[in-house]
């Protein structure tokens, strides 16, 4: 039976970096591609990083009950996990990895219980988080401000999840993340 590994954190903490590493390391893991109406970044690919949708199409899918969970993570920016995506990966016999915001992570955990492990990725400090967010150079000033404001709030959610993974020195983080995956996948439940 497939298992679900949910990585959650404030924007800039390192979720995407960690999740990418794990997908390379473990053949039986697959990424749950979320849907969003936000603009595609230059290096992103539709269907690989996200399903990029118009706001109209996103709302239509919400009305049709197509999402397990969805959130307006930033004003006017929607993100959600499609039921069809989980179904697809489930049928392929994969363990599923999620990179989603704190509220979405709680919803998935509630929906799947012991089959799911929710991991909060914690930056070493707020200052380092903001530095990483800036150094990624994906946001304009307005978007950066929005993300930093939301990050302050999301940092308080640390205690809501099964595990906390501190992302300070990347090689050590990768090692710890691999152990978390191995232990959870091998565990009977």
The reply on whether position 118 binds ligand ADP by CB under 6 A is no
- Measured CA to CA in angstroms, residue 169 lies from 12, 64, 103, 149, 181 at distances of 15, 43, 27, 25, 19
Phi-psi region of 111 (alpha: psi -120 to 50; beta: other; left: phi over 0): alpha
- DSSP state, residue 164: E
Binding mask 150-189 for ligand ADP (x = CB under 6 A): -----------------xx-x--x----------------
CB of 169 to ligand ADP, least distance (A): 6
Q: Where are the beta strands (DSSP E) in the chain?
A: 4-8, 29-31, 34-36, 50-52, 67-74, 77-82, 95-99, 116-122, 163-166
Our CB check for ligand ADP shows the closer of 2 and 8 to be: 8
At 80, list the tokens: 């959600």
43: three-class secondary structure by DSSP = coil
CB of 162 to ligand ADP, least distance (A): 18
Our CB check for ligand ADP shows the closer of 12 and 104 to be: 12
CB of 39 to ligand 5GP, least distance (A): 9
At 152, list the tokens: 């302050």
Our CB check for ligand 5GP shows the closer of 151 and 180 to be: 151
CB of 154 to ligand 5GP, least distance (A): 8
Footprint of ligand ADP on this chain (CB under 6 A)? 9, 11-17, 132, 135-136, 167-168, 170, 173
């Amino acid at each position: 039976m497939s298992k679900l590994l949910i990585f959650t954190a404030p924007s800039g903490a390192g979720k995407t970096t960690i999740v990418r590493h794990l997908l390379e390391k473990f053949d039986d893991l697959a990424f749950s591609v979320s849907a969003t109406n936000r603009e595609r970044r230059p290096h992103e690919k539709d269907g690989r990083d996200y399903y990029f949708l118009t706001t109209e199409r996103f709302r239509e899918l919400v009305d049709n009950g197509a999402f397990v969970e969805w959130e307006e993570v930033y004003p006017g920016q929607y993100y959600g996990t499609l039921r069809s995506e989980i179904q697809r990966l489930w049928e392929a016999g994969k363990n599923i990895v999620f990179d989603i915001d704190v509220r979405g992570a709680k919803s998935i955990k509630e929906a799947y219980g012991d089959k799911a492990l929710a991991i909060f990725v914690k930056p070493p400090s707020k200052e380092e988080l903001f530095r990483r967010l800036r150094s990624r150079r994906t946001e304009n000033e307005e978007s950066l401000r929005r993300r930093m404001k939301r990050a302050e709030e999301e940092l308080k959610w640390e205690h809501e999840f099964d595990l906390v993974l501190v992302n300070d020195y990347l090689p050590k983080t990768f090692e710890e993340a691999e152990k978390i995956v191995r232990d959870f996948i091998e565990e009977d439940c």
